[in-house]
Structure 1
Amino acid sequence: MTSERDRQKELEHRERTLREREVELRLPEMETNIHATDAAFYQTVKHQPENIQKPWMKKLILGGKLFALGVIALVAVKIASVLAGFIIVGAIGWVSYKLFLESKKTNL
């Protein structure tokens, strides 16, 4: 029984030494492979669309948008002021009707 254990230990020892030798042999090969292949160098280039607008064209478009926004704001203010005028005149008319023209009924 001890011989069986000794034999098993001897086999494990041999396997371990074989693995260590294999690692020692493969390590230099792997290092040479790593250092031998240099990474390819690619020059990067900024993507430029084919129909590039000129800077002055961009500014012109932005100015047009700003002008349109200003016109829309002025129209909105004008409409709001007219509506407010109608509401004010209507409120004054209603109050004056209630005060002066509505018949007063007195309860005796």
Structure 2
Amino acid sequence: MTSERDREKELEHRERILREREIELRLREMESNIHATDAAFHQTVKHQPKNSQKPWMKKVILGGKLFVLGVVALVAVRIASVLAGFIIVTILVWMCYKLFFDSKKTNL
């Protein structure tokens, strides 16, 4: 009985060793595929049309757009502040009128 158990253990041990070797072999194959230097190398070149603008001209246009956006933002803030001031003054005048000048006629 012990010989059968020993034999089974020995077989399991050999199978485990064989599986480990197969796994190591597969890993080596995968690693060699990853690090293969036989891959073709193609140099790419950016396509530029013949009538394209110069690089500094693109930067000038972008700067101009940014400047115009800043001016528009400042004008919008200025208009919003004037409008808010007008609304606040209107509400204050209306409240003063209601508090002090509106007649309270009560018919009892």
TM-score normalized by the length of structure 1: 0.55
Letter in 2 for 1:76: A
How far apart in 2 are the matches of 1:83 and 1:44? Answer: 56
Q: Looking at CA atoms only, which structure, 1 or 2, has the larger radius of gyration?
A: 1
Partners of 2:91 and 2:48 lie apart in 1 by 62
* Correspondence 1:85 to 2:80: no
Deviations 1:30-74 (A, max 9, x none): xxxxxxxxxxxxx97643211121211111100000000000000
Instruction: Identify the residue that residue 70 of structure 1 maps to in structure 2.
Output: 70
The CA deviation at 1:106 is 3.0
The list of structure 1 runs, each at least 4 consecutive aligned residues, that deviate by more than 2 angstroms after superposition, is 43-47
Alignment of 1:105 with 2:105, yes or no, is yes
Instruction: Give structure 1 stretches of 5+ with no counterpart.
Output: 1-42
> 2:54 matched to which residue of 1?
54
CA RMSD of superposed structures (Å): 1.9
The verdict on how the C-alpha distance between 1:90 and 1:59 changes in structure 2, with shifts beyond 3 A counting, is same
